[in-house]
Amino acid sequence: MVLTTGGFVDNEEMLADHAPHLVGHGKISDGLDDGSGIRMASAIGAATRRMSVTEIALTALPAMATRGMLVNGHGQRFINEDVYPGLYSVAAVLTQPGPYWVIVDEEGYESVPEAERWGVLPQFVGETLAELEEELGMPAGALESTVGTYNRYAEEGQDSYFHKDARWLRPLKGPFAAIDPRLGFNPGESGNTGAGTGVAGFTLGGLSTTADGAVLDVSGTAVPGLFAAGRAASGIHGEGYISGTSLGDGTFFGRRAGVAAARG
């Protein structure tokens, strides 16, 4: 038997047990990732692996974040905004107090081609950072300190704290805007991604297998006749995820599991 039943993002009980950081957020699935295959195999002694690891997507538009900054609910930067969006999404949700905001100035916003803005509009605008802090409920002076430090280093062409590429560095000047990822992309349209919390994800952990998909038990021995691939298995992912790599878990390793199962 080859289990290809998907992950467990649609199973609230399993999420609460293994990946509680996704509870209450959006789910990237077809609605059938209920963990059934993982639970069935576990019931006969199969081992699981990396059950807490997830893909996380925060709907902070990269084109705007790179031209400005991503801050936490206290107005503090925590990562270089030109990284792969999945990395700043994981950093935000797992390590930072929300809500999260993209802070950008007028020049930065206008420099994003309209077709690439995905309908994203500023929710709060202020001539000064003090005005923006008050509107966002941040500690007084927090955003002013963050932007002031950023601007000082940007004038020197470096980001000494987080090492954003110099091509994206320039001092930010008022008026300033704050963009709320909780509204998602193309707000108001059907299929709005991430509307609600601004966060969506799926699980990457699953059954422990060999490279040929043989499911291992808790002692590390293959369970006779049982194989798994795709999101039902832990697969190739460690603590991170890059868009599309689940295809490798499903196709390449799915084929290996199928061949191994056919050989008996």
Q: Could you list the pLDDT tens digit for every one of the 264 residues in the chain? A: 999 999 999 999 999 999 999 999 999 999 999 999 999 999 999 999 999 999 999 999 999 999 999 999 999 999 999 999 999 999 999 999 999 999 999 999 999 999 899 989 998 999 999 999 999 999 999 999 999 999 999 999 999 999 999 999 999 999 999 999 998 887 665 444 445 899 999 999 999 999 999 999 999 999 999 999 999 999 888 777 888 888 888 889 999 999 999 997
Query: Is the peptide bond preceding residue 175 cis, with omega within 30 degrees of 0?
Result: yes
Domain boundaries, the chain: 2-56+199-263, 60-183
Q: Which of helix, strand or coil describes residue 161?
A: coil
pTM to 2 decimal places: 0.87
pLDDT of residue 69: 97
**Burial of 197 per CB tally in 10 Å (0-12, 13-18, 19+):** middle
Instruction: For domain 60-183, say whether CATH 3.90.700.10 is its number.
Output: yes
pLDDT of residue 194: 45
Instruction: For domain 2-56+199-263, say whether CATH 3.40.190.10 is its number.
Output: no
Q: What is the spatial distance between Cα 260 and Cα 242, in angstroms, rounded to a whole number?
A: 27
Name 148's Cβ contacts closer than 8 Å, sequence gap at least 6: none
